[in-house]
């Protein structure tokens, strides 16, 4: 398929399905769901690779830029305090790996780790299983995609919107019944907190939930919330700004793929 200027691909990968979304910054529909493929429960990296080949099979996507968005429950996100006197990237990577092992009780060798590396202040790190990362990279290479990144969903949303988050606000990503808050710390991400959204939760629940999270973290409650993703209509109001809207009627996998899109 011939690519026009400004077009790209978004690939959503969850434990239940893979979705392929085509985006365009100019002209026509901004985002179109191209294909989806269900996954069996507990599917491993090879099954994910097979499904990705299936969703890419009906198009010619050579040289198309592609972003892969991995569901947060397949990834891990944590904060790292850099060691005193850290001067090399290797020092920061070692600190991230050590903190990973302390938190999750397993070595970091089986995980692909990335971070907002900073030798002077605590920074955020994220990881996904190395086997999954390698399988996705392999299929992208087979189809000669121009792979931009492979990133957990929350990080994709945060990277897209963090520059617009006000000093008195928190960012929030809503997806498939889960709300994840990103609490800014200066110019960076200070903490991320994920919670299941109760059935029928309204704006009152949202405000009370944000206040409870602030109390747990020992920080001031936000004056407002800036949300993206599948934001319920009954949350919208003066204290809530909706940064983007997921396509009406989209599946969870397609909404995952669209996270962080600039189209």
- Distance, CA of 15 to CA of 18 (rounded, Å): 8
Q: What is the mean pLDDT of the chain?
A: 94
**Same domain for 241 and 182:** yes
**Same domain for 151 and 68:** yes
pLDDT band at 26 (very low <50, low <70, confident <90, very high): confident
**Same domain for 50 and 137:** yes
In a domain, 260, yes or no: no
pTM of the complete model beyond 0.85: yes
pLDDT at 20 over 70: yes
**Same domain for 182 and 66:** no
pLDDT band at 17 (very low <50, low <70, confident <90, very high): very high
**Phi and psi dihedrals of 106, rounded to 5?**
-150, 155
In a domain, 15, yes or no: yes
**Same domain for 150 and 37:** yes
In a domain, 253, yes or no: no
**Same domain for 80 and 208:** no
In a domain, 236, yes or no: yes
- Looking at per-residue pLDDT, the higher value among 243 and 87 belongs to 243
Secondary structure in 3-state letters for the chain: CCCCCCEEEEEEECCCEEEEEEEECCCCCCEEEEEEEECCCCCCHHHHHHHHHHHHCCCCCCCCEEEEEECHHHCEEEEECCCCCCCCHHHHHHHHHHHHHHHHCCCHHHEEEEECCCCCCCEEEEEEEHHHHHHHHHHHHHCCCEEEEEEEHHHHHHHHHHHHCCCCEEEEEEECCEEEEEEEECCEEEEEEEEECCCCCCHHHHHHHHHHHHHHHCCCCCCEEEEEECCCHHHCECCEEECCCCCCCCCHHHHHHHCCCCC
Taking residues 126-141, report their average pLDDT: 98
Cα angle value 23/28/33 (rounded, 5°): 40
Q: What is the pLDDT of residues 227-243, one digit of tens each?
A: 999 999 999 999 999 99
Q: How many domains does the chain have?
A: 3
pLDDT value at residue 85: 85
Residue 224: give the domain boundaries.
163-246
**Same domain for 66 and 136:** yes
pLDDT value at residue 193: 95
pLDDT value at residue 143: 96
pLDDT value at residue 1: 57
Taking residues 38-56, report their average pLDDT: 96
pLDDT value at residue 32: 92
Taking residues 136-147, report their average pLDDT: 97
Q: What is the pLDDT of residues 96-105, one digit of tens each?
A: 999 999 999 9
Taking residues 161-166, report their average pLDDT: 95
**Same domain for 216 and 90:** no
pLDDT band at 13 (very low <50, low <70, confident <90, very high): very high
pLDDT at 3 over 80: no
**Same domain for 207 and 236:** yes
Q: What is the pLDDT of residues 58-69, one digit of tens each?
A: 888 999 999 999
**Same domain for 141 and 16:** yes
**Same domain for 229 and 170:** yes
pLDDT value at residue 6: 78
Q: In this structure, what CATH number is given to the domain that contains residue 38?
A: 3.30.420.40
């Amino acid at each position: 398929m011939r690519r026009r200027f400004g077009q790209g691909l978004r690939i959503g990968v969850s434990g239940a399905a893979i979705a392929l979304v085509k985006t365009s910054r100019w002209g026509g529909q901004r985002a179109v769901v191209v294909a989806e493929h269900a996954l069996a429960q507990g599917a491993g990296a090879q099954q994910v690779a097979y499904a990705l080949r299936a969703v890419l099979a009906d198009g010619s996507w050579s040289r198309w830029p592609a972003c892969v968005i991995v569901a947060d429950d397949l990834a891990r996100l944590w904060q790292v305090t850099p060691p005193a006197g850290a001067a090399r990237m290797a020092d920061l990577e070692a600190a991230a790996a050590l903190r990973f092992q302390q938190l999750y009780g397993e070595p970091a060798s089986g995980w692909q780790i990335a971070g907002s590396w900073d030798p002077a202040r605590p920074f955020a790190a994220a990881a996904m299983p190395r086997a999954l990362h390698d399988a996705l990279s392999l299929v992208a290479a087979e189809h000669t995609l121009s792979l931009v990144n492979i990133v957990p969903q929350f990080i994709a949303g945060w990277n897209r919107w963090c520059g617009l988050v006000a000093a008195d606000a928190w960012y929030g990503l809503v997806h498939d019944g889960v709300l994840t808050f990103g609490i800014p710390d200066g110019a960076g991400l200070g903490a991320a907190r994920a919670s299941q959204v109760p059935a029928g939760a309204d704006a009152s629940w949202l405000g009370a939930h944000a206040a409870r999270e602030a109390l747990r973290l020992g920080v001031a409650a936000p004056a407002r919330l800036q949300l993206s993703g599948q934001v319920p209509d009954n949350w919208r109001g003066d204290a809530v700004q909706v940064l983007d809207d997921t396509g009406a009627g989209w599946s969870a996998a397609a909404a995952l793929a669209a996270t962080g899109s600039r189209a």
